[in-house]
Structure 1
Amino acid sequence: MIRVLFICHGNICRSTLAESVFTHKVNSLGLAHNFEIDSFATSREEIGNPPHYGTVNKLREEHIPLVPHHAKQITWKDYERADYIIGMDTANIRNLNRMLKN
C-alpha cells in the first residue's frame, strides 16, 4: 500500500483538490487498491471545516468527484506512516518541516 499525503495551510482548498484529483486518477486507472490517499493542514485554523466552495465548484466543473473531507492537521503519526508527502507550496513545506522536527 502506497500512502500519499497532500499538505496545505488550511486543508480546505489546494490539498483537498489534489487529494480528489489524485483519487479520481487512481480510481480511473483501477489502482485504488494500491493507494491510501489523504490530505492535511499545517495550521489549525480550518479544522473540521468542509472543502472551500471554490474547490468544490472547480471539481464539479471538471467532473471530478469530491472526496468526502473535513480539514484536519497533520500529526507525527501521519508523517511516519507516509510514503510520499506533497506540499502545495514552499511555505507549506517549510511549515511542515518546522512542525515535525524531531
Structure 2
Amino acid sequence: MIKVLFICHGNICRSPMSEFVFKNMVKKEGLEDQFIIASSATSTEEIGNPVHPGTRKRLQKEGISTSGKYAVQLRKEDYDKYDYLLGMDSYNIKNIYRIIGKEDPVKVRRLLSFTDRERDIADPWYSGNFDETYNDIVEGCEAFLKYLYLET
C-alpha cells in the first residue's frame, strides 16, 4: 500500500485538487486498491472549510467530485503514517519540515520535483488561475505515478 499526502497552505485549493486528480488517475489505471491518498494544510486558517469553489468548478469540468472534503491540518504523526508528503511549493516544504520536526528530502518533496521542470505550483487563491494550477497538478501527478511504477 502506497500512502500519499498532498500538502498546501490551506488545504482548499492545490492539495485537494492534487488529492482528487491523483485518486482519479489511479482509479482509471485500476490501482486504487494500492493507494491511500489524502491532503492537508500547513496552516490553520481554513481548517473545517470545504474545497474552494474555483477548485470544485475546475475539477467538475473533468467529472471529478470533491464531495465530503474539508480542510485538515498536517500533524507531526503524519510523517510516520504516509510514505510521501508532497508539497505544492518551497514555502510548503519549509512549513512541513517545521511541523514534522525534521528534514527528509526523500519523503518530503514538491509535487513537481518528479517532472522534467521542477518548480512551484502557483496558488490559485492569489492568481485566480485554476486552469494553470490544474495543468501543473496533472503534470506532477502523472510524473509521480510514473516514478512510483518505475521505481517499484
Normalising to structure 1: TM-score of the pair?
A: 0.94
TM-score when scaled to structure 2?
Answer: 0.64
CA contact (8 A) 1:6 1:39 kept: yes
Gaps of 5+ in 1: none
Letter in structure 2 aligned against 1:34 = Q
Structure 2 regions of 5+ residues with no counterpart?
A: 103-152
In angstroms, what is the RMSD of aligned CA positions?
Answer: 1.1
Corresponding residue for residue 87 of structure 1: 87
| More helix as a share of residues | 2
Counterpart residue number, 1:10: 10
Contact residue 3 and residue 82 of structure 1 kept, 8 A: yes
Question: 1 or 2 for the larger relative contact order (CA 8 Å, sep ≥6)?
Answer: 1
SS in 2 for 1:40: strand
Question: Identity percentage over the alignment?
Answer: 50
Aligned mates of 1:66, 1:43 — CA distance in 2: 20
- Flag the structure with larger Rg: 2
Aligned to 1:20: 20
Aligned length: 102
